[in-house]
Structure 1
């Protein structure tokens, strides 16, 4: 009888699972990233409309902001270059709530990465954020923690994208609401779109960072002035 292996060459998957867990204390559950504005107008109102919105959000917004930032951060080994990526992705967040959300979630993700997946690169990024030289971004902290565990760049980008998909789906379950089974169907539908988006991200250049989806940015700005809100952004 063949012995059962006690270790896996893909051990980095455990790191990615932990970093992308919806229970990770980054506060992502409290941010709608513009979705709530679409709920308030009725444009997103059921499983089908949310699935359509989420696919567009993934490929037309997240890919050009956090997704590309994760890839660039994973690829660079220069502290100065990492600080430049931080500045670019922070500056590209035009809506005030989105910019503030990035800083808050970035600080929490960086705290987790420093506490659980410490590397010299993570520690240096933490020092730069503490000194005010970097704003801090969850995607960058995620990328550094995953890279330190040996996770390949493409796997890291895919895990980050799907963690955001999961957070947005949980918010839709509460905000529309659509129910847990519908949420699982939407997440399953996003598998192919996440993989397609990862491939697309690897065709982008640094100058593509922050390419705007104007409708989403306007919705994110309007969210700040909604009369009643469930989410912070």
Structure 2
């Protein structure tokens, strides 16, 4: 009975940790990014609800095929700081455009900075010290995997929450840009969050060497972000 009680308490604890790091009030700077949506819209590639939904699918699929392998590897290697540094550098080398690379590093660093001030885990503080030094960018996927491992969040939950956070960012950014209203954005989020489990299933065994961009057009949109005359988002 004691074993089952401890297991239940651990599940509740991990659930609460998931809810905290996925909450919009957890300050990681994620909502200052649009994952390429702003550039796509202002370049005329997003013109109705259908084109917006297609972009969401493409962004989520790219996150699954490119980011999830790094999230998983970060989770599994979280106790080996040397391996994490190498993984972060490999992730940086694999980034296909400078805007995505900058956004990933900013969000990853903010995530660990906030977490180091929030959770009393020395491993998170050690990771913060490492990304404060030259030579480590602190990319979001790797940092998110490490953090979830430190918080004893199950790997499957870690991968699903990573995709969910990206979907949430897209739906918030489209409202801020006035493309759709908040109610419609919530319906859109609900429709697409049903695809998260399938994306995780298809990319669960993908290695970092096999990570790739499935929809390169989204990457091209995002790469033009710095050329916009006026910008609401950082990426």
Verify same fold: TM over 0.5: yes
Which ranges of structure 2 fall in alignment gaps of 5 or more residues?
none
Tell me by how many angstroms 1:85 deviates.
1.5
Tell me by how many angstroms 1:200 deviates.
1.6
User: Which of residues 34, 37, 46 in structure 1 aligns to 2:36?
Assistant: 34
Q: Which residue of 1 aligns with 2:107?
A: 105
Contact persistence 2:58–2:218 (CA under 8 A): no
Greater shift after overlay, 125-134 or 158-167?
A: 125-134
Contact persistence 1:113–1:141 (CA under 8 A): no
Q: Which residue of 1 aligns with 2:83?
A: 81
Matched, 1:16 2:9: no
Q: Which residue of 2 aligns with 1:152?
A: 154
Matched, 1:117 2:119: yes
Q: Which residue of 1 aligns with 2:168?
A: 166
SS at match of 1:11: helix
Q: Which residue of 1 aligns with 2:65?
A: 64
| 1:96-137 residue CA offsets vs partner (Å, 9 max, x unmatched) | 222122222121101112122243432332222112231112
1:71 and 1:102 map into 2 onto residues whose CA distance is 16
1:46 and 1:113 map into 2 onto residues whose CA distance is 38
The alignment's TM-score, normalised by the length of structure 1, stands at: 0.89
Contact persistence 2:124–2:147 (CA under 8 A): yes
Q: Which residue of 2 aligns with 1:143?
A: 145
Greater shift after overlay, 94-103 or 113-122?
A: 113-122
Q: Which residue of 1 aligns with 2:187?
A: 185
The alignment's TM-score, normalised by the length of structure 2, stands at: 0.88
SS at match of 1:10: helix
Tell me by how many angstroms 1:157 deviates.
0.8
Greater shift after overlay, 111-120 or 26-35?
A: 111-120
Contact persistence 2:72–2:155 (CA under 8 A): yes
Tell me by how many angstroms 1:218 deviates.
1.4
Query: How many residues align structurally?
Result: 227
Tell me by how many angstroms 1:143 deviates.
2.2
User: Which of residues 219, 223, 226 in structure 2 aligns to 1:224?
Assistant: 226
Tell me by how many angstroms 1:212 deviates.
6.0
